[in-house]
Structure 1
């Protein structure tokens, strides 16, 4: 019996399996290999494997953990907090600076959060601890403006790497539980800008609580109006509640307890004050304050009237990413917001897959303070 021979190729049909040594097949396999190599290389680069000195999201998380430990299910920084909600009412005065809908004469819903700096979700409240206000402002047009603002006059580092190095230099010594002067001293000597910023933070006036504190953007952004004119700005939320001297420090959660008591009595309000930068003002260095005589615009009023525990509260699943900006607001050349954005996303990814203990500020604590 003779071996059957293949017949002529039929029009529109297959001609049998191609040889691995066929030039066309080799080209296709080579192209696939190049694509796979590119994917693997990109993954390795993003993970930092090909650049041991490159600052990655994971390395920033490691630095935060070196200071405060790992607390599964909680944010890696500003871990102790409480959700709040309310609205923002525009004054219309910033509409000439920015085309963002939030600055038109409208009311925008707000989901926010008050917190203490640091990665310890059960830390004791303390007067000088840095406090933060985070906001998700949602105007009727569907755009969003997110921010995380703090009650300090400047940020403590110029870049993400400098901040990470500061964290490592000030991490607690296991033997004493306090920063090691042998690490801190040389670091500050080599980073005079950080030392100057820390001095400004340490000298700031301390308000009694969350409700009468001022919260600042620290970073510079740009407002863009309908004509395309770009203006450098920073902003702050200035309290409308009267302030006073810091009272007695009583209780593990006294700052949050005072906030809940105040909200249980009446809404709390802040004025959004936008500071207009001059051409000489630094926009890329958040450790430098702008001159106090810069023009300010009162852009509107923030009112908060509801508190919720992070155990099921509206703010729990929100990352207050400073680069979630509406049309009319844009980043400047300040490098910190981009670093915060990346760190927040990594923190969210980690905590979303972890089992979390109940928060320090519980639903029962909030229910006990609610208005009847």
Structure 2
């Protein structure tokens, strides 16, 4: 595992404590993205990444993978319709018995580059609870914008996803948010960003008035039904960074004119029903991939560890 701790001991615990105040504590569940479904999958690299990395799963041989699609709230019973954005987490199972992880969401950038600011934003949300002990997200977002006006665009983009529920997990684009370094056999480093692109491209979002969703689990049901009728696949794309692209700031989306390369395809094989102890960690990467100095990336490692410990204790 290639990781480092830059966040201090108290902030990850503070973040998890604050998340628990937004919708409450759900013993045994993840503190975010609590509701999810798992699949066994196969990732087939096409060799296009070989010039940039020695990572075993990005050469020429197919590897197995475990994939989890998820809603974002901490409530494991939250309706698919109400969840603001979605997640896709992948564990690539490497030939030597290790794994490399890739954790993605439907938002291409993060709301802040500073863990302290992120925790403060969460606390602003918890201050907007109604008499029903529920957070008023609309007021909360407005209050965050007042204090952090420079984050207005990304916060409004998050709000928009409440208005446009997705049709299917299978049709969404997923972004790991952070930059990483690829390292090739000559030791040359190349900054990259990833994106999962659905092979079946079509309109992925519903206008709310047109949405006819009767089940709180409609996304799960849809994905199971799609898999019965044919393959569900995603292309893994890398975008090559230049010397001017920030690698330590997840609030910056690299320009669309950066070179993009398809490096492989992930195909879901069948549903899995594993025990929840499975942990996805964005800092677990294999040889040939290195972490950047992004503070949020390393903070996530520490916060996930706190959440995992509480899950294991059924707290």
- In structure 2, the CA distance between the partners of 1:180 and 1:196, relative to structure 1 (3 Å rule), is closer
The equivalent residue for 2:176 is 217
Separation in structure 2 between the aligned mates of residue 274 and residue 64 of structure 1, nearest angstrom: 32
Superimposed CA distance per residue, residues 128-179 of structure 1 (whole angstroms, 9 cap, x where no aligned partner) = 6211001100122334211210011211221222221111112341326343
Greater CA drift, 255-264 or 167-176: 167-176
Deviation (angstroms), 1:328 = 0.7
The equivalent residue for 1:287 is 251
Superposition TM-score, scaled by structure 1 size: 0.75
Separation in structure 1 between the aligned mates of residue 249 and residue 304 of structure 2, nearest angstrom: 21
- The ranges of structure 1 where at least 4 consecutive aligned residues each deviate by more than 3 angstroms after the TM superposition are 180-187, 200-207
Select the residue among 277, 281, 286 that pairs with 1:326. Answer: 286
The equivalent residue for 1:306 is 270
The DSSP-based 3-state class of the residue aligned with 1:158 is coil
Superimposed CA distance per residue, residues 187-245 of structure 1 (whole angstroms, 9 cap, x where no aligned partner) = 32332332222234445786411011110111111111111111111101100123235
Greater CA drift, 199-208 or 184-193: 199-208
Select the residue among 191, 199, 203 that pairs with 2:148. Answer: 191
Q: Which has the higher contact order (CA 8 A, sep 6+)?
A: 2
Select the residue among 253, 259, 263 that pairs with 2:217. Answer: 253
Select the residue among 54, 57, 63 that pairs with 1:108. Answer: 63
Report the structure number with the largest CA radius of gyration. Answer: 1
Deviation (angstroms), 1:348 = 1.1
Superimposed CA distance per residue, residues 239-288 of structure 1 (whole angstroms, 9 cap, x where no aligned partner) = 01232353522211111111111122223100000011111112221112
Separation in structure 1 between the aligned mates of residue 260 and residue 156 of structure 2, nearest angstrom: 25
Is the 1:157–1:193 Cα contact (8 Å) retained in structure 2?
A: no
Separation in structure 2 between the aligned mates of residue 284 and residue 73 of structure 1, nearest angstrom: 32
Superposition TM-score, scaled by structure 2 size: 0.88
RMSD of aligned alpha carbons:
2.2
Which residues of structure 1 form unaligned runs of 5+? 1-45, 49-54, 356-372
Deviation (angstroms), 1:186 = 4.6
Deviation (angstroms), 1:117 = 0.4
The equivalent residue for 1:70 is 25
The equivalent residue for 2:49 is 94
Superimposed CA distance per residue, residues 302-351 of structure 1 (whole angstroms, 9 cap, x where no aligned partner) = 01121134xxx16x222111111101111112111111111111111111
The equivalent residue for 2:5 is none
Is the 2:72–2:83 Cα contact (8 Å) retained in structure 1?
A: no
